[in-house]
């Protein structure tokens, strides 16, 4: 099958377009013919080697964390899907590889594709929607009437997180550029802060939840805008020992992760708020829950650009530019 492959970690070297064997199907797997694949900043970070200490991959490696397509084969223990089903998925960390014509995925990481959206729209959703769900619902337990600050509202995670937070009944503030203020307000943001001209640390106060995705400076200010008892969930770091333990990292890596986040955790404790680092995980059941919002029209995919499969390197470079509004996808079918 055709695929985009990396043979070693590196920022500048492009992915190699070539032929590889079709995936081996395990007993609990479905084989998905990829119709569309989403691209994420995570793909770029893995390619450059940023996660090689905590999440090492054998080479050669096929990147790609989002897929929408059709089931073409099922393992003997599969009970939830059959050949011909349209599905979408975020494969588990050790089994990524959606920049290819086929991928084998454990059935528990797969969900039926929501109706009334295209394959490209479906492929744009798994990683970012699971990130938003696990941050706001699982970690923060966001409730109706609470206030949440979602950084980078026009990005992939932000566009979904704003919509999800509104459906949970929260008041939403976000940061974006002046050009994207209308977009985030259409998605449901109550307060849109132009990060180039305003300091959210001086505008916001007494928030219940922060979804942090930016740099250390934004993290510092975000801790200060939380009310006592509030929660900050970070998807950009620093990682903590609970995360390292959750992925089964050896004890030296757990120790390093704990040291990296020690200063942030101390600051959070002094302000009587909670800090946690989230590295989202695959979860087909949560994708089914999210699919209900999508089919009801209350969460809408936001796609900036769609690229032909053969242009995967150009698509990843566009993601790396940081200019995308919502998601970037590859179209195979």
CA neighbours closer than 13 Å in the CB half-sphere of residue 254: 11
Contacts of 91 (CB under 8 A, 6+ apart): 65, 67, 97, 98, 103, 105, 106, 109, 282
Q: How confident is the model at residue 137 (pLDDT cuts 50, 70, 90)?
A: very high
108 and 135 inside one domain? no
136 and 163 inside one domain? yes
CA 50, distance to chain mean position in Å, is 16
| Domain assignment present for 283 | no
Residue 159, classed as helix, strand or coil, is helix
Per DSSP, the residues of 95-147 read: G---SBSEEEEEGGGEEEPPTTS-HHHHHTSHHHHHHHHIIIIIIS---TT-E
213 and 109 inside one domain? no
Q: Would you say residue 228 has pLDDT above 90? A: yes
The C-alpha atoms of residue 188 and residue 166 are separated, in whole angstroms, by 6
Angle at 234 between CA 325 and CA 210, to 5 degrees: 80
**Residue 173 pLDDT:** 98
Mean pLDDT of the chain: 96
Instruction: Decide which of 277, 293, 313 is a domain's last residue.
Output: 277
| Domain assignment present for 183 | yes
Q: For the residues 246-250, what does the mean pLDDT come to? A: 83
**Residue 105 pLDDT:** 98
Residue 41 sits in which domain range?
A: 2-125+301-331
| Domain assignment present for 9 | yes
13 and 86 inside one domain? yes
16 and 101 inside one domain? yes
Q: How confident is the model at residue 160 (pLDDT cuts 50, 70, 90)?
A: very high
**Residue 283 pLDDT:** 98
Q: For the residues 62-70, what does the mean pLDDT come to? A: 98
Identify whether the C-beta of residue 61 lies closer than 8 Å to the C-beta of residue 93. no
99 and 238 inside one domain? no
Residue 80, classed as helix, strand or coil, is coil
Q: Which tokens is 217 given?
A: 């400076």
Q: Would you say residue 6 has pLDDT above 90? A: yes
Identify the CATH number of the domain in which residue 198 sits: 3.40.50.720
The C-alpha atoms of residue 274 and residue 140 are separated, in whole angstroms, by 9
25 and 112 inside one domain? yes
79 and 138 inside one domain? no
Q: Would you say residue 74 has pLDDT above 90? A: yes
| Domain assignment present for 293 | no
| Domain assignment present for 282 | no
Q: For the residues 81-95, what does the mean pLDDT come to? A: 97
CB atoms within 10 A of CB 96: 23
Identify the CATH number of the domain in which residue 45 sits: 3.90.180.10
| Domain assignment present for 229 | yes
Pairing of strands 29-39, 102-106: antiparallel
Q: Which tokens is 120 given?
A: 């490209």
**Residue 2 pLDDT:** 98
**Residue 241 pLDDT:** 85
251 and 131 inside one domain? yes
**Residue 250 pLDDT:** 85
**Residue 257 pLDDT:** 87
pLDDT of 279-333, one tens digit each?
999 999 999 999 999 999 999 999 999 999 999 999 999 999 988 999 999 999 8
| Domain assignment present for 79 | yes
**Residue 55 pLDDT:** 86
Instruction: Decide which of 244, 261, 277 is a domain's last residue.
Output: 277
**Residue 96 pLDDT:** 98
pLDDT of 269-292, one tens digit each?
999 999 999 999 999 999 999 999
121 and 214 inside one domain? no
How many structural domains compose the chain? 2
CA neighbours closer than 13 Å in the CB half-sphere of residue 12: 0
pLDDT of 193-213, one tens digit each?
999 999 999 999 999 999 999
Q: How confident is the model at residue 157 (pLDDT cuts 50, 70, 90)?
A: very high
137 and 112 inside one domain? no
19 and 45 inside one domain? yes
| Domain assignment present for 319 | yes
């Amino acid at each position: 099958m055709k695929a985009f492959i990396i043979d070693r970690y590196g920022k500048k070297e492009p992915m190699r377009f070539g032929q590889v064997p079709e995936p081996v199907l395990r007993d609990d797997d479905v084989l998905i013919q990829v119709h569309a694949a989403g691209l994420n900043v995570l793909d770029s970070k893995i390619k450059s080697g940023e996660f090689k200490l905590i999440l090492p991959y054998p080479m050669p490696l096929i990147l790609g964390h989002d897929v929408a397509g059709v089931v073409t084969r099922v393992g003997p223990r599969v009970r939830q899907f059959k050949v011909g089903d349209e599905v979408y998925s975020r494969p588990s960390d050790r089994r990524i590889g959606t920049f290819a014509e086929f991928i084998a995925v454990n059935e528990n990481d797969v969900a039926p594709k929501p109706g009334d959206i295209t394959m490209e729209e479906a492929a744009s959703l798994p990683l970012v929607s699971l990130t938003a769900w696990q941050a706001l619902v699982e970690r923060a337990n966001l409730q109706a009437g609470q206030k949440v600050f979602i950084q980078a509202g026009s990005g992939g995670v932000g566009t979904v997180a704003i919509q999800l937070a509104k459906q949970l009944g929260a008041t939403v503030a976000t940061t974006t550029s002046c050009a994207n203020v209308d977009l985030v307000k259409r998605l449901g943001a109550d307060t849109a802060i132009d990060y180039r001209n305003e300091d959210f640390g001086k505008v916001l106060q007494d928030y219940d939840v922060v979804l942090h995705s930016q740099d250390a400076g934004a993290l510092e200010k975000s801790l200060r805008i939380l009310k006592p008892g509030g929660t900050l969930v970070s998807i950009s770091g620093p990682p903590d020992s609970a995360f390292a333990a959750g992925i089964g990292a050896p004890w030296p890596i757990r120790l390093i992760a704990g040291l990296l986040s020690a200063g942030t955790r101390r600051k959070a404790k002094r302000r009587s708020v909670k800090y946690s680092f989230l590295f989202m995980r695959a979860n087909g059941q949560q994708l089914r829950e999210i699919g209900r919002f999508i089919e009801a029209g209350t969460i809408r995919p936001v796609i900036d650009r769609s690229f032909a499969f053969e242009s995967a390197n150009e698509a990843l470079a566009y993601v790396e530019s940081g200019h995308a509004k919502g998601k970037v996808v590859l179209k195979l079918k």
